[in-house]
Amino acid sequence: QKEVEQDPGPLSVPEGAIVSLNCTYSNSAFQYFMWYRQYSRKGPELLMYTYSSGNKEDGRFTAQVDKSSKYISLFIRDSQPSDSATYLCAGGDFNKFYFGSGTKLNVKP
């Protein structure tokens, strides 16, 4: 079992839709969680990070962690075609991070 599991998609939504991207993780010791966005043929770029459980909001993006169910979510409001990319979740403890395989998102104009 992978440390972090993520549905690969692809997920296709119309412009303006609310997008929900999800991951599960297996190690209850994980304290730190991140979301990266990766455009085609580019390196991943950090979108958001959170510590422990709770929500964090940054503009149209909200990251949510539920440690009781080992569930990580990223919500995108008012999605834009420029949001089309692969989204990678990651979780870890003090020493190491583990990445999900990524969910490909396509926002149609």
Partner 1 sequence: IAGITQAPTSQILAAGRRMTLRCTQDMRHNAMYWYRQDLGLGLRLIHYSNTAGTTGKGEVPDGYSVSRANTDDFPLTLASAVPSQTSVYFCASSVASGGLTDTQYFGPGTRLTVL
| Residues of this chain that bind partner 1 (CB under 8 A) | 2, 4, 6, 8, 31-32, 34, 36, 41-46, 49, 51, 88, 92, 94-102
CB of 21 to partner 1, least distance (A): 14
CB of 14 to partner 1, least distance (A): 27
* DSSP 8-state code for residue 83: G
Q: Are 45 and 102 in contact (CB under 8 A)?
A: no
CB of 15 to partner 1, least distance (A): 27
CB-wise, 17 or 22, nearer to partner 1? 22
Q: How many CA atoms within 13 Å lie on the side-chain side of 70?
A: 13
Q: Are 53 and 74 in contact (CB under 8 A)?
A: no
